[in-house]
Amino acid sequence: MEKKNKHRSTIALVLDSAIFAAFLVATAPQFSGLAVHEWLGIAFAAAAISHLLLNWQWIAATTRRFLKGLRWQGRISYLLNVALFVDVTILIFTGLTISEVPLRSMGIVLPRQTIWRLVHSLAADLSIAIVGLHLALHWQWVVNTIKRPILKSLLPRQRVPEFGLDANPARKEPQL
Amino acid sequence: MKHIIRTFIILAAALVVVGVAILLSNSLGATRRRGLPTLNSADPGSALFQRGPDEARVLAGFEPNRFLGDLDRGRGSRLNWVGLSTVIRNLVVIAGIVLAVTLVGNTAKHLRRPAHSRQAKEQAGSGSGA
């Protein structure tokens, strides 16, 4: 069971790192060019759905406990995640609306409206701040997940309790 | 704290390496590979530009991009620095937020601890350091 959880944490870390790298590149369309920016945005949507599915247990449990018995740190984290979800949804929707390359390659031409471009820019700027906060709240999990295999390979026969080796390594509620 | 700084320095260094590789490949090979002039190298007075900026861009190997203004100018080797610097700036902003939240969290945790246990820990720390 513990091995399964560790494997799951590693998969989550690899996926999250890829999403973060894609996000960073997508925030600078001048860097990648418009076509890469737009295709990356579509891939980002798929990766974000995978990220949600991987953390579905936490989402379901926190939603159930939100109004009763959840600590304020958990509530802040939950609200931040909701804000990030809304922001990313707006970002992808407006991105598709103003898209030039992927939709056109499928023969779909949408009427141009400047408002979507403006909303897309605002949502993109806001997403940098929210992603920063999201990463900050889960930083300890990131460090622990990276450190655990490294420490285990260095100290193969010792337990490392401070990094949660003998605890459930599944993602914990973030602590402020 | 050290981990945050180290991780973000590694990420920034990796981005710089990727950026330099892109710039080198752009300036060394792109024009020759396509056999077409880029916007940087095309003569604004030439027939290519007189056909209109959008058509000139398409002919020069750029995608038509009237809606996003001069976004696709970033494809020129010189202007790609603008894109890379945006990526690094965003990374620095995110690192700053992570650092700030970690600092606030650690300070809050430290202050929440009862005073006597804090003193005991500080004494133990200074004792072991001596």
Compare all CA atoms of chain A with the CA of B74 and give the residue at the minimum distance.
Answer: A30
Q: Which residue has the higher pLDDT, A39 or B118?
A: A39
| pLDDT over 80 at B23, yes or no | no
Q: What is the pLDDT of residue A131?
A: 92
Query: What value does the mean pLDDT take over residues A139-146?
Result: 86
Query: What value does the mean pLDDT take over residues B99-121?
Result: 75
Per the prediction, chain B carries an average pLDDT of 61
Residue from the list A27, A30, A98 with its beta carbon closest to the beta carbon of B82: A30
Instruction: Provide the token pair at A99.
Output: 């898209």
ipTM above 0.85, yes or no: no
Would you place residue A87 in the very low, low, confident or very high pLDDT band (cuts 50, 70, 90)?
very high
Per residue in A46-69, pLDDT (tens digit) is 888 888 888 888 888 888 888 777
Answer whether A117 sits within 8 Å of B68, measured CB to CB: yes
| pLDDT over 80 at A92, yes or no | yes
| pLDDT over 60 at A150, yes or no | yes
Partner A contacted by B84 (CB < 8 A): yes
Compare all CA atoms of chain B with the CA of A118 and give the residue at the minimum distance.
Answer: B68
Would you place residue A166 in the very low, low, confident or very high pLDDT band (cuts 50, 70, 90)?
very low
Collect all residues of chain B within an 8 Å Cβ-Cβ radius of residue A143: 3
Q: What is the pLDDT of residue A164?
A: 45
Residue B71: which residues within 8 A CB-CB, separation 6 or more? A29, A30, A34, B65
Per the prediction, chain A carries an average pLDDT of 80
Query: What value does the mean pLDDT take over residues A4-21?
Result: 81
Q: What is the pLDDT of residue B130?
A: 38
Q: Tell me the shortest Cα–Cα distance from A175 to chain B, in angstroms.
A: 8
Partner A contacted by B90 (CB < 8 A): yes
| pLDDT over 60 at A176, yes or no | no
Question: Residue A113 in contact with residue A73, Cβ under 8 Å?
Answer: no
How many contacts, defined by CB atoms under 8 Å, are there between A and B?
A: 89
Of the residues B25, B78, B80, B98, the best mutation for testing chain A's interface (the one with the most A CB atoms within 10 Å of its CB) is B98
Secondary structure E strands in chain A? none
Q: What is the pLDDT of residue A62?
A: 85
Q: Which residue has the higher pLDDT, B88 or B119?
A: B88
Residue tagged 């509620």 (tokens): A173
Q: Tell me the shortest Cα–Cα distance from A35 to chain B, in angstroms.
A: 8
| pLDDT over 60 at B52, yes or no | no
Answer whether B86 sits within 8 Å of A27, measured CB to CB: yes
How many Å apart are CA A68 and CA A57, to the nearest integer?
17
Residue A83: which residues within 8 A CB-CB, separation 6 or more? A130
Q: Tell me the shortest Cα–Cα distance from B116 to chain A, in angstroms.
A: 22
Q: What is the pLDDT of residue B124?
A: 65
Per residue in A13-52, pLDDT (tens digit) is 888 888 898 898 888 887 777 888 888 888 888 888 888 8
Say what percent of chain B tops pLDDT 90. Answer: 0
